[in-house]
Structure 1
């Protein structure tokens, strides 16, 4: 496994485009100042030792050396020893609705993006826990098996969109069933399924499936996302195009709060409606913290080998090359004529 031990040093790379801007501006000022003394094409024969390209070559070498040094300071490492460790935590499976109705904009910026932002913040609150991700619409698919790799979890969250599930609909029951089968066999760990949906379920008996989860000591929490009044569902890139039914009428998507509450009650969990505040996130985080933690086995790298030595040699070589490159033309090379 590769990592940077001190990734904060990578922020120094922001300086690179600034230095390029200053260099280009300096070259422009030099040309402008030279033009004050006469036509550059007339003055060129008088400055036979001035090289047009060497300042650029020197600057590029200096920039490469700087970039290599920044990566060296960030301390690149490769994991060399994988161990199984036990930590106190819980297991959580997220079931995220990605049906077309989740693109409705009654919650800013839309239901799906709000859900993703909320989950990203929830992941930040987790410590030694395990998390998995399921996406569902007319069917349910495991996007991320249960893991303690929170970096991957947030990466997968960023890629979620309604095109991931080819069959449209809202099969909440199938999503709960898939989540139930995704936990580890560890019986001493508290387990929970968090369903985030507008609850417009038309595919299966989600309440019955939540009861089945509760019988296995798996709690089902539901975050209802959307408004009770409902809004049209955008389609395509235009703000004025909305999904229509077979009769040509604009479809209005509403949060089915009663169903969400029934599912949560059957699953012995909580129901919270998400809005443009962080109240749902706070309630969800509070529930997770109440869960009983137990030993969870995780594979982690316990030893890392430093890899900065190779970068140090590259930086040193670039700096040596830079020292031997002067701005003026080489007195030997300028005598060589390749074209008559």
Structure 2
């Protein structure tokens, strides 16, 4: 058995120290009591109890502490090793380490860039078995095929041009060695990735290509360098650059012909590093088409943890220590009080859980009543607001829209932005449903296939207007039908305001945005239909000779000389046969003034209350729509309903 964190075991030294300290403290206290009281009075003054419970409590406490310390050290047992199985493919990487790979036409140099590409390939293909061949004038396998990519990475980090015993660049030798190595795996399809600048190719490349193609080796070539090239560095040269026999500096350029030929004739791919192509993705696309096989992966050591076998006894010892060291006088009262304290929150939590369960099981009336009782019982403002939100949700689903409107209004007292947003959205939906139900007699359908289009909406409005015309009497200054339309417009206007308030708090609420758009469409269409009804009514009245009196036909002031005078009254007399210029007599003046005075009184009262008796029902509906037309302008301006105190929102 071993310990994962043996350092914790040092704490065990403290346990005997604590035990010795407890014994010494007990003896010291006994001496203090002996000095305090005389021996003959000690039994009467000092009540001695049995020290056994205290020592048992200390023993259990130290034992529990020891078990916890050992558990923290994590004792483990060795259950052997397990070899993981993985599905992958064989991929051999051939890296050119000739002198020309130190040319700096790419930064920092060609060899360093090639290594970076290999690191990316190792990360991009974690399940493939990969190996490394380094070649110059000859080729060697420096990392055999393995699933341990970290070992391959370490080899790549160390390799450089000094590992090549022979100069040059024998691509054919690298292809031959890679083909022979891949053949030994017994797999039909394998991949070879070559990173080189393509210069100074030695050997019979044609024969190697034929052998690789016959063995099912797909060659992917990656050119490193540029076509302009640069001078080949040589630390042994006086000028630091490699020179030819004539003393001129040697320039190395990227040769793509050989690399392209290798890739095309073996059904592989060719690319140039730094061209912008995602090389790991390109290599993966080629390798993923090869046959995969199951192989042995990494070996994982299996350990068995024993700490849980110590934690359970430690908990039991701690409980026993507490019980043994407790003085039981008065404990019963404390237990009862604690039980009562814990029972009350549980009961409340149980009530809330029952209400939620009723809501989820679609018993909406019961859920509404349960949430309402919870809200009335609690005094916490935030909790009460949340219960009101639950009550409103249940009432809305039960199609009790008036109760839902009231509960949503009360939930606006919350200071939580999410609760406020939900309350405003529910308030808008409830107001819209109240308006629709008042218009059609039924709730607005929730099934997408049953949602009425504008033609159906026109039919509903026209039917309501027809019922209004049938029930309206000529003596009525305002009909019950237009009172219904006024309530409808008010509810929908307020619904739009609440949708705007929701979008102010949650700009991404698509439900509020769609509902607002739909409500505005219905409001606009309702305005058009009411205007059309008004025009048709005026036209009908005009055809029947009952049109409204025109200016100068009886409503004008008789003092203008154009009152009731005409062919039947050529003298231009007013009513009662008296000349308007003469004042018409006291009795006539009083009668006319009394009549006018009463009329002015009514008009003034109607203007104050918004119910002008001279205003037709159509004009009244259009006035309400006009007053609410600013809802089409977007967000609310300061001072609107959304900015009033929440207590008055309902």
TM-score range, shorter chain: 0.5 to 0.7
Map of 2:233 onto structure 1: 234
Match of residue 253 from structure 2: 254
What is the alpha-carbon distance in structure 2 between the residues aligned to residue 80 and residue 245 of structure 1?
65
Instruction: Give the corresponding residue for 1:123.
Output: 122
Superposition map of 1:129-208 within 5 A: 129-183=128-182, 185-188=184-187, 190-208=189-207
Q: TM-score, normalised by structure 2?
A: 0.33
The CA deviation at 1:189 is: 6.2
The separation in 2 between residues aligned to 1:118 and 1:278, in whole angstroms, is 12
Pairs aligned (count): 233
Per-residue deviation, residues 132-179 of structure 1 (Å, max 9, x unmatched): 000000000111011000111111111010000110010111111111
> Comparing 102-111 with 135-144, which one deviates more in the overlay?
102-111
CA distance in 2, matches of 1:293, 1:79: 33
Q: Distance in 1 between matches of 2:238 and 2:228?
A: 19
In structure 2, the CA distance between the partners of 1:228 and 1:178, relative to structure 1 (3 Å rule), is same
Whichever structure has more helix as a proportion of its residues is 2
Given that 1:90 and 1:191 are in contact with CA atoms closer than 8 Å, whether structure 2 keeps it comes out as: yes
Question: Cα offset for 1:236?
Answer: 2.3
Aligned counterparts of 1:210 and 1:108: Cα–Cα separation in 2: 32
Contact kept, 8 Å, 1:95 with 1:134, in 2: the verdict is yes
Is the Cα contact below 8 Å between 1:220 and 1:263 reproduced in 2?
A: yes
Judged with a 3 Å threshold, the aligned counterparts in structure 2 of structure 1 residues 283 and 78 are, in CA distance, closer, same or farther, namely: farther
Partner of 2:587: none
Cα 1:216/1:86, change in 2 over 3 Å: same
* SS across alignment from 2:85: strand
Specify every segment of 5 or more residues in structure 1 that has no aligned partner in the other structure, as ranges.
6-72, 307-340
SS in 1 for 2:127: coil
Whole-Å separation in 1 of the counterparts to 2:205 and 2:116: 25
Cα deviation per residue 1:216-248 (whole Å; 9 max; x = unaligned)?
A: 111111111111122111222999621111221
CA deviation digits over 1:30-61, x for unaligned, max 9?
xxxxxxxxxxxxxxxxxxxxxxxxxxxxxxxx
5 Å-filtered alignment, 1:18-33, equals none
Q: Which residue of 1 aligns with 2:214?
A: 215
1:171 and 1:201 in contact (8 A); partners too: yes
Question: 1:188 deviation in Å?
Answer: 4.8
Q: Which residue of 1 aligns with 2:609?
A: none
- Could you say if the C-alpha distance between residues 203 and 305 of structure 1 is closer, same or farther in structure 2, counting changes exceeding 3 Å? farther
Question: For residues 250 and 122 of structure 1, what CA distance do their matches in structure 2 show?
Answer: 35
Write the distance in 2 (CA, Å) between the matches of 1:212 and 1:204: 14
- d(CA) in 1 for partners of 2:281, 2:128: 18
Q: For the residues of structure 1 that align with 2:78 and 2:97, how far apart are their CA atoms?
A: 36
Aligned to 2:274: 275
Aligned counterpart, 2:510: none
The separation in 1 between residues aligned to 2:116 and 2:279, in whole angstroms, is 12
Residue pair 1:195, 1:222 contacting (<8 A) in 2 also:
yes
Q: Deviations over 1:18-39 (max 9, x none)?
A: xxxxxxxxxxxxxxxxxxxxxx
SS at match of 1:212: helix
Is the alpha carbon distance of 1:204 and 1:185 closer, same or farther for their aligned partners in structure 2, counting shifts above 3 Å?
closer
CA distance in 2, matches of 1:186, 1:79: 33
Q: What SS class does the counterpart of residue 269 from structure 2 fall into?
A: strand
Shift in CA distance, 106/85, structure 1 to aligned 2, threshold 3 Å: same
Distance 1:296 1:164, change over 3 A: same
- Mapped to 2, the partners of 1:169 and 1:150 lie a distance apart of 29
Shift in alpha-carbon separation, 1:80–1:93, aligned structure 2, 3 A: farther
Equivalence for 1:66: none
Structure 2 stretches of 5 or more lacking a match?
5-71, 306-650
More strand by share: 1
- Residues in 1 aligned to 2:260 and 2:195: alpha-carbon distance in whole angstroms: 12
Structure 1's 201 and 215: CA in aligned 2 closer, same or farther, altered over 3 A? Answer: farther
Separation of aligned partners in 2, 1:102 and 1:78: 51
Distance 2:265 2:207 in 1: 7
> 2:497 — aligned with what?
none
Alpha-carbon spacing, 1:299–1:238, altered in 2? closer, same or farther (3 Å)? same
What is the alpha-carbon root mean square deviation over aligned residues?
2.9
For residues 268 and 223 of structure 1, the distance between their equivalents in structure 2, rounded to whole angstroms, comes to: 14
In structure 2, how many angstroms separate the alpha carbons of the residues matched to 1:249 and 1:173? Answer: 29
